[in-house]
Amino acid sequence: MNSPSDKIAITINTLLYIIQKIGGIGDFHKVFKILYFADQKHLARYGSAITEDKYIAMTYGPVPSMAYDIVKSIRGDGLMATFQDQFTPYFELVGKYSIRAKINPDLDYLSESEMLCLNESVSESEQLTFQKRTDKSHDSAWHNADENGEMSLMDIAKVGGANNGMIAYIRESIENEEAAFG
């Protein structure tokens, strides 16, 4: 388990990576759905999420909680608004719902397997319309969660194609983390 500051750095660099891959600017919905679909793949194949973020089942699909707090803070909103100055060196708000990457990602924060899953997700989802991304993300993991509730990593992995062995591994990893860190 990474420290909170490591999680923030990983999330920042993952967002920068996605934004760079889609041309340097992206709306929140597109960036978040690309991350979600990449996390499905990474969970199913390797048993871990890319950013360790929690996904919330919101109206227009899964939203990575910390990533959303970071981008909201750039416009002065949300739980992390007081940390706006920490994120503006990386991102610039474009309109109300898009962000531009101001720097390149530090690839030391991303593994080869994570970049592979992110690249596949960009390739599959970059050209989808808002509605098609929303529909694609309204999968069984999203349906199994309460509205505005946290989505299950096991459900996300199942949607990504995880086999029973990988689901058992993820379940055990979560149990071990909860036992160690509460």
Helix (H) or strand (E) holding 63: strand 61-64
| pLDDT digit string, tens, across residues 122-177 | 999 999 999 999 999 999 999 999 999 999 999 999 999 999 999 999 999 988 88
pLDDT for 125 equals: 97
Select the more confidently predicted residue: 2 or 108: 108
pLDDT at position 112 over 80? yes
pLDDT at position 100 over 80? yes
| pLDDT digit string, tens, across residues 21-41 | 999 999 999 999 999 999 999
pLDDT for 179 equals: 79
Nearest Cα neighbor of 8 from 62, 120, 89, 115 is: 89
pLDDT band for 99, please (50, 70, 90 cuts): very high
Three-class SS state of 23: coil
pLDDT for 126 equals: 95
Evaluated on CA atoms 2, 8, 13, 16, the torsion sign reads: positive
**Is the CB of residue 25 less than 8 Å from the CB of residue 100?**
yes
Percentage of residues in the chain having pLDDT higher than 90? 81
Total-model pTM: 0.94
Mean pLDDT of 113-122: 98
Write the CA distances from 112 to 25, 108, 115, 136, 139, integer angstroms.
23, 10, 5, 25, 27
pLDDT band for 182, please (50, 70, 90 cuts): low
Which residues are CB-neighbours of 6 under 8 A, at least 6 positions away? Answer: none
Domains of the chain, by residue range, sit at 4-181
pLDDT at position 181 over 80? no
Helix (H) or strand (E) holding 26: strand 25-27
Tell me the pLDDT of the chain averaged across its residues.
94
**Is the CB of residue 112 less than 8 Å from the CB of residue 123?**
no
pLDDT band for 68, please (50, 70, 90 cuts): very high
| pLDDT digit string, tens, across residues 131-142 | 999 999 999 999
**Is the CB of residue 107 less than 8 Å from the CB of residue 79?**
no
